[in-house]
Structure 1
């Protein structure tokens, strides 16, 4: 065991698909012997097998076997932000389990508040990441450990002998005596060496350090990006090349995710490259963790991002996007999609089929339509206000559908708008939160579910127009993938 760097403020204590909404997840569930394809609708709220919202923000997803079991499953760790509107109220680090990345079972809280310590209920515990340590046959969790005013600026560590067991808090410390806030840890699958990547020097610098063999402490400072103000780190390793993801700092507001490359975690690192189209702000997400799925037929690089709702953190959602790797120039990019499916066993993925109702083909009054800029699905868009709607008549099979609203909204940061969906005069599944957490002229897509039948009249109403132009130029209609 390495020398402990922790400020122990309490004796260690032992504590005891794409995913769909409840309506879709229940229909798609299959016995473990026949793994289901995972179905992803980025920005939709995700539910567990009991129909409750998944609360696992800022976390990581790893594959492993539980103690005493031969079944390998995916385990998702993350922050419980139930009913939170602001940070600084630690509730738990939750764990969910899935055999196939499709349906997620709530295992329970695996790290809970400890009174009188740096992880008390009025502390900050963010970005929990769990790695398996081969040397000690042990699971090690690192996290951003802080005070409610973000003045403590530490990393915390907890350990468990089982992946889904209770984690014992070992303490919190400052790596090399330096402050640490937004962070991640990464394990090189080839060498088993683990690394801490963290924002330091009052958030100005972005540093990389190796961990000791136990994964309890930092070992060596390897590289520092100076005066860059980056956060939300993540790492892929593709064909021997490291890809270090980051986002510029701007509170809960999504920014332009980018990445660097290097043949060594110690650098030197390349110039930065954007991960998605400029102005898209990584499709209004922030990187949480980057997952490599080594399928039997293909390898998938999977981006897991938080879709933060900065004024109501508990309602924040998650966005999973395939990462496209270009073997010619060795670049990576997010594949923009409103709905896609994955066979996690084979690694094969594809976009879900859909039909599109454009503004020009809708029943929206012509007086509310304006010409579209480049990037529209048609030639016109509905200029939405509190009194001007987007409407269409559905033609197709009856059943549960996912509606993907295609919109642009060049409004201020953290200005959230709501669109109500009514079908034949009845409110569908509540309100689709069009999560425009910053203005963008790049087309975005947000989803909601609705039950439709042939001939249904669908109306989209903007509930909280603020005077800024909000345009809907089309609606994608995805079939329930569990049908047929």
Structure 2
């Protein structure tokens, strides 16, 4: 044991029993020593505590466990709080052979409720809908409210559309939530069978789209026919930024980011932010969230991504990398085997 502690101290990963540095791509244990299961996840900061929600893949693919939640005060050491939304908390269609993917949570100051959105689907990926659940506590349990597709829009449906978009609205798959400075919330998601990204303003309760749904006012199509998924939005100096990936299934691909003055667009694609070895696969990972780095710097952020292992999804890893927004909206993502908060003071 003494030898192990000495090794961890030398690596900068142990301080009085705690991790002190990020190690992208490595197994990330929780405070009980078990690998964190929060894939496709997102972070909520509430009253000084970070909550990490994500898919629990302990039993492999599909929704066989549910949405897990972890808490932390330093983003390094995470305590498992349990299942915020167990598999039995959603309709049977989305359990076992269905999916409950990319859960994200916002806190509504007006209603004092925690609101979770997720992508729900059956095994053929034909239901492709947004699920909504609500809780009085950050750690849950969340109560399932229902599922639907937020926007109906005739973009030119194919004659034989297996997802019934003409009747039900555009498909809802890879998604994220964004809370703006004015208190308005938005959902970003891959729609039109993953061909086009949608941005939709939510209602005052954050439980559905703002009504009436009006293109150009409450929602918009962005990155039209670009086939982007894994949306990860953030804001800096009044501008909106959006990381995304291409649509290649479990296989990693080249990331891209776009910038806009208005959240509904127009969005300008800036290209791939990754530099260095394995940049062409975003370091073998896919974007899931962007988190402002704690501290005084306003230009510092953390890029959160998943390194999927389709053969053993429970062993999928997390790739968290630091970056800053440089003048001219320039962003560079660089690989680091290990990093700590000092990187932002260099």
Please classify the TM superposition score into its range, dividing by the shorter chain length: 0.7 to 0.9
Contact 1:129-1:141 within 8 A present in 2 as well: yes
Deviation per CA, 1:339-394: give whole Å up to 9, x if none: 10127xxx9466xxxxxxxxxxxxxxxxxxxxxxxxxxxxxxxxxxxxxxxxxxxx
> What is the aligned length?
312
Aligned equivalent of 2:197, options 206, 210, 219: 206
Shift in CA distance, 40/168, structure 1 to aligned 2, threshold 3 Å: same
Counterpart CA distance in 1 for 2:344 and 2:19 is: 10
Structure richer in helix, relative to its length: 2
User: What are the ranges of 5 or more consecutive residues in structure 1 without an aligned counterpart?
Assistant: 1-20, 66-71, 351-484
Q: Distance in 2 between matches of 1:297 and 1:144?
A: 33
- Highest CA radius of gyration, 1 or 2? 1
Contact 1:95/1:108 (8 A) holds in 2: yes
1:410-465 CA deviation, whole Å, 9 max, x = no partner?
xxxxxxxxxxxxxxxxxxxxxxxxxxxxxxxxxxxxxxxxxxxxxxxxxxxxxxxx
Deviation at 1:88, TM superposition (A): 2.5
Measure, in 2, the Cα distance between the counterparts of 1:315 and 1:211. 34
Conserved 8 A contact 1:341-1:349: no
Tell me the equivalent position of 2:162: none
* Higher strand residue share: 1
Q: Among 256, 263, 266, which residue is 1:265 paired with?
A: 263
What is the match of residue 60 of structure 1? Answer: 42
User: Which of 9, 14, 18 matches 1:28?
Assistant: 14
| Post-superposition CA distance 1:322-355 (Å, at most 9, x none) | 013212x221121321110127xxx9466xxxxx
DSSP-derived class of the 1:136 partner: coil
Work out the CA distance in 1 between the residues paired with 2:222 and 2:298: 34
Q: Who is 1:232 aligned against?
A: 230
Does the 8 Å contact 1:139/1:163 carry over to 2?
yes
1:61 Cα deviation (Å)? 1.3
Runs of 5+ consecutive residues of structure 2 not aligned to the other structure: 152-168, 211-217
Q: Could you tell me how far apart the structure 2 residues matched to 1:134 and 1:218 are? A: 18
CA distance in 2 between counterparts of 1:215 and 1:320 reads: 28
Superposed CA RMSD in Å reads 2.4
Q: Helix, strand or coil: the match of 1:270?
A: strand
TM-score by length of 2: 0.84
Q: 1:89, 1:148 within 8 Å by CA — same for their partners in 2? A: no
SS of residue matched to 2:126: coil
Shift of 1:37: 7.1
Partner residue in 2 for 1:172: 147
Which residue does 2:164 correspond to in 1? none
Q: Indicate the residue corresponding to 1:387 in structure 2.
A: none
Instruction: State the partner residue of 2:293.
Output: 293
Q: Which residue, 184, 188, 198 being the options, matches 1:197?
A: 188
Matched-pair contact (CA < 8 Å) for 1:211–1:218:
yes
Q: TM-score, normalised by structure 1?
A: 0.61
